[in-house]
Amino acid sequence: MALSRVPLPLVLVVIAAVCAGGLQAQERTAAATPPMGWNSWDSYAESVKEGDIRANAEWMAKNLKAYGWEYVIVDMGWYVTNHSAGISAQNAQFSMDQYGRYTPAENSYGSAVHGAGFRPLADYVHGLGLKFGIHILRGIPKEAVEKNLAIQGSEFHARDAADTSDTCLWNPYNYGVDTKKAAGQAYYDSLARQYAEWQVDYVKVDCIASHPYKGDEIRSLSEALKKSGRPMVLSLSPGPAPIEKAEEMGQYANLWRISNDEWDVWQSNEEFPQGINNQFERVAQWAPHVRPGNWPDADMLAIGQLGPTPGWGEPRMTRLTEDEQRTLLTLWAMFRSPLMMGGNLTQCDEWTKSLLTNAEVIAVDQHSKGNRSVETTVKAAVWAAEREGGDGYYVAVFNRLETPQSLHYEWKQLGLNARAYSLRDLWEHKDAGRETSLDVKLPAHASVLYFAQADGKR
């Protein structure tokens, strides 16, 4: 119909419906599968520079893009101008615009001159066929509040938005934002507009999902990103996010951390860091909350070369054994966690590359359904899932002990009802025969991942 002949109120209704429909489509398509990419923290911490981002992006485009890896994430501290002060330093100095918004430090990001921000770097990453993301801390810079800078696009100033009684427990840079005030929403709206101008695809927000949980600010940031007009994945950190808030987080965000930082250890008895073995009970608990657009996040893959300046410990090759590395990828895939590589891609060896380019394992993470923990004990864990299309099942068995063990399961114990299944070993890329039960012998901390098809299926 011709809008020129339609009464103005009806025109407005039609336009509003189209805009709402577009927004709903945007929400549905954001992170339809678990995001896959590379994050700078495990290798560079706050010291990452533009050349490092470009080099890792180039390696990803050449070696990993064909397998679904697409996000390049600049983690914390890109606005710090004096990295020699240390991580989360009290005397950190910042690059900031006249509206109290952090900008890339020009001594680390040379293309950010003349107010360009991250747009030139984002354009470069997009030119490689990849997507670009950044890490931010919730809140408003203390420096912006002290100077009472204007909030872009509004009549407010920084002091109108800040909650000066609220700061991050582990980082001194910002005050909280009072989202009950219009000024608070105005500040987050201004950030979202800035990120949209920079062509950001992914925003990781820290100090918001735990230590403590900040539901009001999650909601405010989510609304701001939606109003920006650019689809951006919203990721929440740190963990452990409260499972009783799962539905609320799922309404406003695409992924959220379920544990404290996970590093290259098998088991930890401390809150920080966490290890692979610490995650089994967590992922079993969170599995019912996994759905398209909502991905509980088991944290980054601390594999490969962690350096030159890792976010924890000295520069090193991952401490994880090869069996433990496969177990890490297998558990993350069966849980359908986001896959964020932490190791330095420019120093990637053939073994690490083989883990990241196993299309059969990646398919489990990206294209399975009904993923569930069948058994989780201190000795072993078993997971099962269906392949999209319903033509077979994925089955993973994990040995959590320090010694080898043999494990036996009847198919019915796993929820599989056929008498026999033909197995394919997804790590070894080979068929493993027809079996009337599942019998495996696993070394310490090892696992096996099969695709199982019932007799008569292909």
* pLDDT of residue 419 exceeding 80: yes
Beta-carbon contacts of residue 275 (< 8 Å; ≥ 6 apart):
262, 263, 265, 266, 267, 268
* Residue of 15 and 222 predicted with greater confidence: 222
Distance in angstroms (rounded) separating the CA atoms of residues 56 and 344: 7
* pLDDT of residue 189 exceeding 70: yes
The answer regarding whether domain 36-371 maps to CATH 3.30.1490.270 reads no
* pLDDT of residue 22 exceeding 50: no
pLDDT at 456: 60
Beta bridge partners of 102: 96
CA angle 327, 360, 281 (to 5 degrees): 30
Q: Which two tokens stand for residue 125?
A: 């990453």
Residue percentage of the chain with pLDDT more than 70: 93
Mean pLDDT for the chain?
94
- Average pLDDT on 49-68 reads 98
Q: Are 174 and 203 in contact (CB under 8 A)?
A: no
* pLDDT of residue 259 exceeding 50: yes
Query: Cα torsion for 108, 113, 116, 117, to the nearest 10°?
Result: 30
pLDDT at 377: 98
Q: What are phi and psi of 101, to 5 degrees?
A: -115, 130
Distance in angstroms (rounded) separating the CA atoms of residues 299 and 273: 11
39 secondary structure, DSSP code: E
pLDDT at 30: 84
Beta strand 368-376 pairing with 380-387: antiparallel
Distance in angstroms (rounded) separating the CA atoms of residues 134 and 194: 12
Q: How confident is the model at residue 455 (pLDDT cuts 50, 70, 90)?
A: confident
Q: Where in the chain is the domain with CATH 3.20.20.70?
A: 36-371
Q: Which two tokens stand for residue 26?
A: 């945007």
Distance in angstroms (rounded) separating the CA atoms of residues 147 and 215: 28
Distance in angstroms (rounded) separating the CA atoms of residues 144 and 141: 5
Beta bridge partners of 94: 80
* pLDDT of residue 154 exceeding 50: yes
**CA 28 to chain CA mean position, Å:** 17
Beta bridge partners of 72: 38, 132
Task: Count CB atoms within 10 A of the CB of residue 27.
Answer: 15
pLDDT at 95: 98
* 157-183 residue pLDDT tens: 999 999 999 999 999 999 999 999 999
Closest among 175, 231, 165 to 201, alpha carbons compared: 231
* 299-346 residue pLDDT tens: 999 999 999 999 999 999 999 999 999 999 999 999 999 999 999 999
Residue percentage of the chain with pLDDT more than 90: 93
- Residue for token pair 């864990």: 381
Q: What is the edge-to-edge ordering of all strands in the sheet holding 140-141?
A: 140-141, 174-177, 162-167
pLDDT at 7: 40
Q: What is the edge-to-edge ordering of all strands in the sheet holding 71-74?
A: 295-297, 255-257, 233-236, 202-206, 131-137, 71-74, 36-39, 339-341
Distance in angstroms (rounded) separating the CA atoms of residues 446 and 444: 5
pLDDT at 29: 64
pLDDT at 395: 98
* pLDDT of residue 430 exceeding 90: yes
Q: Worst-scoring range by mean pLDDT, 19-23, 128-132, 186-190, 236-240?
A: 19-23
Q: Where in the chain is the domain with CATH 2.60.40.1180?
A: 375-454
Environment class of residue 443 by beta-carbon count within 10 Å: exposed (0-12), middle (13-18) or buried (19+)? middle
The answer regarding whether domain 375-454 maps to CATH 3.20.20.70 reads no
DSSP codes of every residue in 252-286: H-SEEE-SS-B-S-S--SSSSSB-GGGHHHHHHHH
* pLDDT of residue 289 exceeding 80: yes
Query: E strands within 143-275?
Result: 162-167, 174-177, 202-206, 233-236, 255-257
* pLDDT of residue 24 exceeding 80: no
Q: Are 175 and 198 in contact (CB under 8 A)?
A: no
Distance in angstroms (rounded) separating the CA atoms of residues 70 and 64: 8
* pLDDT of residue 360 exceeding 50: yes
pLDDT at 25: 41
